[in-house]
Structures are given as structure tokens and as C-alpha cells.
Amino acid sequence: MHLFTTTAGLHCYLERQGPGKELGLVTTMGALHKGHLSLIERARRENSLVIVTIFVNPLQFAPTEDFQEYPRGLAQDQELCQQIRVDAIFAPTVDQLYGDNPMPTADKGDELTQVIPPKAMTSVLCAVSRPGFFQGVATVVVKLLNLVRPNRAYFGQKDAQQLAIIQRMVADLKLPVTIVPCPIVREKSGLACSSRNQYLTPEQKAQASLLYKGLRSAQKAFQGGLCDRINLIERVRSELAGTQDIQVEYVELV
């Protein structure tokens, strides 16, 4: 397995690959978990070459968010990638993707060329509490797609709004890549696997699993014939109301 930290090294590697090889890409911010591994394993089954990118993208973090604290562990990530036969990791530094610009955070990216998704997709749901987030995600994903030029790129359905924006972006910009949605991977409690789960204590993890319980309750009600949006949302909220430690940003049905 190869590790590249520069765009030049990545380009040389890609140029040495023979014609006719299908290339699969999995973009990550590192701190790999079972969800990431499921994406990589699918990419491995469907492609001749698999490249994993590891880059904590500052452009999608607001100043009040956890860019500095975000879990990082390249050595452990390399070991996991080696075990599931990844061909190459691309782990660039910030300057490799953004040049000599000062650290580009979500509120300080005005001097950069950026991808701006449709406002209708970036003014609702997660975007309300994270202004600039999806613009930062779209920009870095386009950069990585342009650098790697994969046949397929794999994204988890856990980040549903992000996935929808990336699919729309690829379609609108006519990018020659197939976006492959992959199912959510969950812990035994039902909590979706996430790198940020490392922040949670065992007690907080147990509380967080109430979200899955609420979603399942709403799903069963819908399958039983309940179609009223407000009632379905209230089923989720009623489960989350079981603890005062959970602050709900939104529950929505789309």
C-alpha cells in the first residue's frame, strides 16, 4: 500500500497505472471506523484500484467547531487500510489543496474559488446550524474528484443531506464519476458509527441511541399506515424527551 501526501506524488502514481483499470475512491477525514470500512470494502469488490483520502478539511469547520480537536490517527488508519487491501492513501496537507492561503475556515474562504451548492439545499436541516459547511464539503470533494479521477466514489447515507448535495453537484457539473450511496452502519445500540462518537462517554452513547429508537418507532408507525408528518416527527421527539441531556437541533421528515 502506498501513502501520498502531495498531489505530485499522487499524479505520478496514477499515471503509472495501466489502462482499463476501474478506480474507486473513498473520501474521509480519518479516524476510520466500521462505517468507513464498509465503504472501502464495497469499493474493493467493485474496482481494480481503491484510493482512500484522509484530510480534515478546514473549509467545512466554523471557528466555534472542533477542527483542532477532531480525532486524528494516521498510523492506525494506515493499518486498517492495509488490512482491507487499499491500494493507496492520499493524505495531503492543507497547502496541497488550498495553496499558500491562510487557514481556510468556513468563515474565511472568500479568497478561494469555491463550489456553491443550490441555496435550497444549503438553507435547511443541518445547514441551519452549520453555515458554510456544505460549501466547504462540496469544494473539497470536487478537488479530490479532480485529482483522483475515479470511476466511482463511495459515500455513506448517514450524511443524507451531504450525499444529496454531492449527487446534485456531480450531475450539474457533469463530472465523469458515479456516486455510490452506501447503507448506514450502526453500533449495537443503533447509534450510527461516527468518528465523533469518540467524544461520548458510555452514558452519553446510551442516551444518543434514543435517536435510533425514535426513528424506529416512526418507521413502524409509517409502515402501519400512519402518514401524518407531524405525528411521525412527534414520535421521534417523544423518545428524545426521555433525557434532559439531549438538545434537539431539528427533527424533520423529507
pLDDT in tens, 76-126: 999 999 999 999 999 999 999 999 876 787 776 677 899 999 999 999 999
In whole angstroms, give the CA distance from residue 24 to residue 39: 10
Q: Are residues 107 and 231 in the same domain?
A: no
Confidence (pLDDT) at 108: 67
Q: What is the pLDDT of residue 111?
A: 79
Distance, in Å, from the CA atom of 163 to the CA atom of 184, rounded to the nearest integer, reads 12
**190 phi/psi in degrees, rounded to 5:** 100, -10
Residue 92 lies in a domain: yes
Is 11 in the active site? no
Q: pLDDT tens digits, residue range 37-84?
A: 999 999 999 999 999 999 999 999 988 899 999 999 999 999 999 999
Q: What is the pLDDT of residue 23?
A: 98
In tens, the pLDDT along 152-200 reads 999 999 999 999 999 999 999 999 999 999 999 999 999 999 999 999 9
| Residue 236 resides in a domain | yes
Q: What is the reported pLDDT for 102? A: 67
- Edge-first strand listing for the sheet containing 178-182: 2-4, 88-90, 49-54, 23-28, 152-156, 178-182
- Is 87 domain-assigned? yes
Choosing from 2, 11, 33, 36, the catalytic residue is 36
Residue 50 and residue 129 share a domain:
yes
User: How far is 179 from 142, CA to CA, in rounded Å?
Assistant: 12
Judgement on whether residues 101 and 162 belong to the same structural domain of the protein: yes
The pTM of this model reads 0.95
* DSSP code, position 196: G
Residue numbers of the domain that contains 78: 2-182
Residue 3, all three cell numbers: 501513502
Same domain, 118 and 211: no
